[in-house]
Amino acid sequence: MRILLAEDDPLLGDALRAGLRQAGCQVDWVRDGEAAERELRAEPYAAAVLDLGLPRRDGLDVLAAVRRAGVRLPVLVLTARDAVPDRIRGLDLGADDYVLKPVDLDELAARLRALVRRAHGQADARLQAGGVVLDPATRQVSLDGAPVSLSTREFDLLQALMLDAGRLLSREQLEQRLYGWGTEVESNAVEVHVHHLRRKLGPTLIQTVRGVGYVLATGGARA
């Protein structure tokens, strides 16, 4: 999943980006509040990690502005401000969760997975479609109980489709969810990954709507 990280401290930001990438996230990192607001308004992130003490614009101001603009993605606030009134204000302005500094990277990744899961109406920690089960925490996939080896991109594409099972997603939408800044994307990358997933998981799991995009069938993966 693609995450926006807004953190001005270079050492902490670098550590957070590395840790979230290790957990399987695509991370775009901005270092001030104006850039954070601009990206949150423009790009379809799965979630955001927002520091409050940002230069140029405070994190709470950014949060309030994007919520007024109708941006609905989950926002996890990262802060050293541990006073209860500060946390209450952030939640009332639209924050979905809080993590206090210093940060445990495993907890941060787990909280982000939970926020994204709830935002897509998923109650179970694992995603399932027919005989296919995907575990975002372990990044493992199985078909009818047998493990299936997927590449990083194949896993990310399958996760994106499973989070929105039954919803048609265009190639452009899938590319935006899979690739962060500075990543060169081949024109047929999504099609190639879909082909590989069908070969490994069965031909009926991912359906093509010609000229529009792809949809994950809710009835199962079996041929």
* Residue 223: predicted pLDDT: 35
183 and 203 co-located in one domain: yes
* Residue 124: predicted pLDDT: 86
**Which CATH number goes with the domain that contains 81?**
3.40.50.2300
Tell me the mean pLDDT in the region 115-139.
Answer: 91
- Phi/psi at 147 (nearest 5 deg)? -65, 145
Angstrom CA distances, 197 to 116, 136, 194, 204, stand at 23, 17, 5, 10
Q: Which residue has the tokens 């879909």?
A: 194
**Average per-residue pLDDT for the chain:** 90
Q: What is the pLDDT of residues 92-121, one digit of tens each?
A: 999 999 998 889 999 999 999 999 999 988
133 and 74 co-located in one domain: no
Question: Is residue 222 in some structural domain?
Answer: no
49 and 131 co-located in one domain: no
Give the domain extent around 71: 2-119
The whole-model pTM stands at 0.85
Whether 220 has a pLDDT exceeding 80, the answer reads no
138 and 206 co-located in one domain: yes
Instruction: Give, to the nearest 10 degrees, the angle between helix 189-201 and helix 171-178.
Output: 90
Q: What is the pLDDT of residues 158-204, one digit of tens each?
A: 999 999 988 999 988 898 888 766 566 667 888 999 999 999 999 99
The answer to which of 41-55, 72-86, 127-141 has the lowest mean pLDDT is 72-86
Whether 221 has a pLDDT exceeding 80, the answer reads no
- What burial letters (b/e) apply to 103-124, b meaning 16+ CB within 10 Å? beeeebbebbbbbbbeeeebee
Give the whole-angstrom CA distance, residue 157 versus residue 76: 23
For the chain, the domain total comes to 2
Question: Is residue 221 in some structural domain?
Answer: no
Angstrom CA distances, 100 to 2, 74, 76, 83, stand at 22, 17, 10, 10
